[in-house]
Amino acid sequence: MPERIAQFITVGGRVQGVGFRPFVHRLAHAHAIAGWVRNADGRVEIHAEGEPEQLRQFEAALFDEAPPLAVPGPLTVSDCAPEAASGFVIRDSVATQQADAHLPPDGFVCADCLAELHDPANRRHRYPFINCTQCGPRYTLIRALPYDRPNTALRDFALCPDCQAEYDNPLDRRFHAEPIACPVCGPHLRFVAADASLAGDETALAATIAALRAGKIVAAKGVGGYHLLCDARNAAAVAALRARKPRPAKPLAVMFPDPDAVQACVHATPASMARLQSPERPIVLLPKQADATLAENLAPGLAEIGCLLPYSPLHALLLADFGGPLVATSANLSGEPVLTDNAEAETRLAHLADAFLHHDRPIVRPADDPVYRTIAGVPRPLRLGRGNAPLELDLPAPLAEPVLALGSHMKNTVCLAWDRRAVVSPHIGELDSPRSLDTLAQVAADLQRLYQVEAKRLVIDRHPGYGYRRFVRDSGLPVSGVWHHHAHAAALAWEYPAVSNWIVFAWDGVGLGADVSLWGGEAFAGLPGRWRHAASFKPFRLPGGDKAGREPWRAAAALLWEAGLPAPFAPAPLHQAWTHHLNSPVTTSVGRLFDAAAALCGICTQASFEGEAPMRLEAEAATAEGRAVPLPLARDALGVWRSDWSPLLPVLNDAGRTPAARAADFHLSLAQALVDQAARLCEETGIRHVGLTGGVFQNRLLAETVCARLEAAGFVACLPQRIPVNDAGLSFGQVIEYLYAQT
């Protein structure tokens, strides 16, 4: 009979908060292994005793059969003294040194729990907070690590005898499921309206469904915050939501009961459906079918709908009971993080919602829904959030000290980085309000506390007007600045480590450039830490500065005035101020070129949300055939190649052609201008890997046209796949740029 031996096994990676210890217990039982398992300093430690072949199979299964939410990392095995263990147990967690913590995102409701949810014979039948070790909230309910129940938002919910028995049973699916709950001992729903306050899960659900069917707007508390819900087929309800928010044109996400309901309303590829049904359950932008039974005012002027599936048991019940799609848009005030507190939601959303569906499980920190768009055949993230953040990434080299990168003013995320690790937060929002800044401070503090890493330096954008400047000042930490577009380029370069040299195009709205003008149409050659400004566009001056982002007619006037042409739609005092260089900063922004094109084509002169004009211009352009207008390319005094946008003005002003045709011309012309710049830079450098980054490349038509033309010209085109192409990826790019600038 083979000799029994003992081994000490340490498993790193994301193995806490994902049911890994109960999984190890079941695995040990299956392989006749004795010993114990425990959480320790962010890792899982295992003492295993068994026959050599049993241990080998057990160790292999730790990776091969790991729970779906787990991402096991390095595994170390060493021989140790036997403890004469007769069974296998889960020991209490220990903390002895700096933890190698991995904080899991929130998980969607698993198939096993869904089956129980809909089983009348199950004691958790229709219980809105059903979960197990394989599913349920994590990031939004963990107060501290290690991940034990007293360290979660459920610490005040004492387990009933039945839940305690499941929690203690090694063979039960809820063995050590920290958020375990049931109708007897767990959280519950409450419905609140002007004339009612109704407790009880079924009562609250029934009242909510009745309100939604009556065309009302309900603010419903979910996993990471509140949604504003209404009937997605009721144009009057959607119009009421838009009028109250106010959100006259910004697209609204729609939650569908199931994948079949999605495919009945939109055109979805296998890749986009796979992303929609992935564990993170994101919003995915998909083209709307012409005969879709949805309100026409869900996404005015656009051809896509943001689609998502139920990801919590509460959502599953709501969608099943309602029997159709619901608008599910973030319940927040414009640009702020999603609301999470019951009382605050009632106070701040009183003018928006007719009723509230609350629950009493606290949300420790907000997490908005993640968003993806399929570009060049790949679903790519536009926003990180519930389900895919905190996003943990490996650095190519160790940092000398821990740093906290604060990202951008718009689409803010923060990134904590130390040694060879980086953690990007979920979406925070725009830093224009006290609540956004409070959330940034909370998330920054929470990440450092949970990962047990204290930042020794802040890495920030060099723009002096970003909202986090007071946070920076009050921190007392040393500060390193990174140029906005260098951070964009560095984040992209990280995704393709095999590329030895780059030409990167960073096109966006505006970001402060190294010459202290507002860049936004730049090309760089080189690598992170040593970018050379290589190409751009002819600069122009923006009348009114920041106002141009919401008033595209200003960018249109700027181009006309720069070309010596009149802009009769612009007030004379503004032209006079522009002439005297008053509040008219110089820019090379491609985003503002898109704004100008949308205004000159008559598609959008006033924008109600950031990016509206380019989005509507793209939607129009996709319906027409276009032709590229050659844009002259010449080097300036500093050796930077610059494309001249002036030949586009007659095309955009040509009233004899449809707005859609002119919009298509604009897209093709900019795509060809990029290829022309790449060709010139390739002649100089020999570089054929071309990266595309910055918010402009959220535009699928532009990005796919550029990729096709680059590849036809012999280039390799690269877009981000893991990091958002827009400013949401900037915090991570700042870390990468800082890392290489120090070496």
Q: What is the CATH number of the domain that holds 16?
A: 3.30.70.100
Cβ neighbour number for residue 272 with a 10 Å cutoff: 23
Q: Is residue 151, in this structure, part of any structural domain at all? A: no
Residue 259 lies in domain:
189-359
477 and 613 both lie in a single domain: no
Give the DSSP letter of residue 266.
Answer: B
The pair of three-digit structure tokens given for residue 603, joined into one six-digit string: 């598609």
What's the pTM value of the predicted model, to 2 decimals?
0.93
Domain boundary, last residue among 73, 90, 107: 90
52 and 78 both lie in a single domain: yes
Q: How far apart are CA 625 and CA 635, in angstroms?
A: 31
258 and 353 both lie in a single domain: yes
| pLDDT per position as a tens digit, 243-287 | 998 889 999 999 999 999 999 999 999 999 999 999 999 999 999
With a pLDDT cut of 90, the percent of the chain lying above it is: 88
**What pairs with residue 421 in β-bridges?**
394, 418
Mean pLDDT, range 663-669, rounded to an integer: 98
User: What's the mean per-residue pLDDT of the chain?
Assistant: 95
Q: Which of 180, 155, 154 is nearest to 168 (CA)?
A: 180
Q: How far apart are CA 130 and CA 133, in angstroms?
A: 11
Q: How far apart are CA 420 and CA 409, in angstroms?
A: 26
Residues 359 and 188: beta-carbon distance below 8 Å:
yes
Q: How confident is the model at residue 99 (pLDDT cuts 50, 70, 90)?
A: low
268 and 300 both lie in a single domain: yes
Q: Which of 336, 291, 536 is nearest to 433 (CA)?
A: 336
Mean pLDDT, range 373-384, rounded to an integer: 96
Mean pLDDT, range 176-195, rounded to an integer: 95
| pLDDT per position as a tens digit, 402-450 | 999 999 999 999 999 999 999 999 999 999 999 999 999 999 999 999 9
With a pLDDT cut of 70, the percent of the chain lying above it is: 99
Q: How confident is the model at residue 41 (pLDDT cuts 50, 70, 90)?
A: confident
Residues 127 and 186: beta-carbon distance below 8 Å:
yes
pLDDT at 98: 58
Number of folded domains in the chain? 4
The pair of three-digit structure tokens given for residue 269, joined into one six-digit string: 């590829």
Q: How far apart are CA 301 and CA 538, in angstroms?
A: 30
Q: How far apart are CA 631 and CA 629, in angstroms?
A: 6
348 and 433 both lie in a single domain: no
- 3-class DSSP assignment, residue 403: strand
Domain boundary, last residue among 482, 508, 526: 482
Domain boundary, last residue among 419, 454, 482: 482
Biggest CA pair distance of the chain: 97
**What pairs with residue 356 in β-bridges?**
192, 219
Q: How confident is the model at residue 148 (pLDDT cuts 50, 70, 90)?
A: confident
Residues 448 and 433: beta-carbon distance below 8 Å:
no
Greater confidence (584 vs 743) lies with 584
pLDDT at 22: 84
Q: How confident is the model at residue 147 (pLDDT cuts 50, 70, 90)?
A: confident
Residues 520 and 588: beta-carbon distance below 8 Å:
yes
Q: Is residue 249, in this structure, part of any structural domain at all? A: yes
Mean pLDDT, range 87-111, rounded to an integer: 82
| pLDDT per position as a tens digit, 567-610 | 999 999 999 999 999 999 999 999 999 999 999 999 999 999 99
User: Which bin fits 247, alpha (ψ -120 to 50), beta or left (φ > 0)?
Assistant: beta
Q: How far apart are CA 740 and CA 719, in angstroms?
A: 21
Whose structure tokens read 């990016």? 611
635 and 521 both lie in a single domain: yes
564 and 708 both lie in a single domain: yes
Q: How far apart are CA 616 and CA 534, in angstroms?
A: 30
Provide DSSP, 420-448: TEEEEPPP-B-TTSHHHHHHHHHHHHHHH
Q: Is residue 569, in this structure, part of any structural domain at all? A: yes
686 and 595 both lie in a single domain: yes
Q: How far apart are CA 386 and CA 370, in angstroms?
A: 6
Q: How far apart are CA 544 and CA 535, in angstroms?
A: 26
Q: Is residue 199, in this structure, part of any structural domain at all? A: yes
Q: Sheet containing 71-79: which strands, arranged edge to edge?
A: 71-79, 5-14, 43-50, 34-40, 88-90
557 and 666 both lie in a single domain: yes
Give the DSSP letter of residue 397.
Answer: S
The pair of three-digit structure tokens given for residue 663, joined into one six-digit string: 């919009």
pLDDT at 95: 67
> In which element (H, E) is residue 8 found?
strand 5-14
Q: What is the CATH number of the domain that holds 245?
A: 3.90.870.30
662 and 540 both lie in a single domain: yes
Q: What is the CATH number of the domain that holds 675?
A: 3.30.420.40
Q: Which of 104, 101, 113 is nearest to 146 (CA)?
A: 101
pLDDT at 97: 57
Burial label for 474, CB within 10 Å (0-12, 13-18, 19+), is: exposed
pLDDT at 195: 85
Q: How many CA atoms lie within 13 A of 539 on its CB side?
A: 14
pLDDT at 96: 56
132-136, 173-177, 470-474: which is most confident: 470-474
| pLDDT per position as a tens digit, 649-662 | 999 999 999 999 99
| pLDDT per position as a tens digit, 672-692 | 999 999 999 999 999 999 999
Q: Is residue 368, in this structure, part of any structural domain at all? A: no
447 and 518 both lie in a single domain: no
Handedness of CA 658, 660, 662, 668 (dihedral sign): negative
Q: Is residue 62, in this structure, part of any structural domain at all? A: yes
Q: Is residue 534, in this structure, part of any structural domain at all? A: yes
Q: Is residue 289, in this structure, part of any structural domain at all? A: yes
Q: Which of 703, 741, 692 is nearest to 488 (CA)?
A: 692
416 and 451 both lie in a single domain: yes
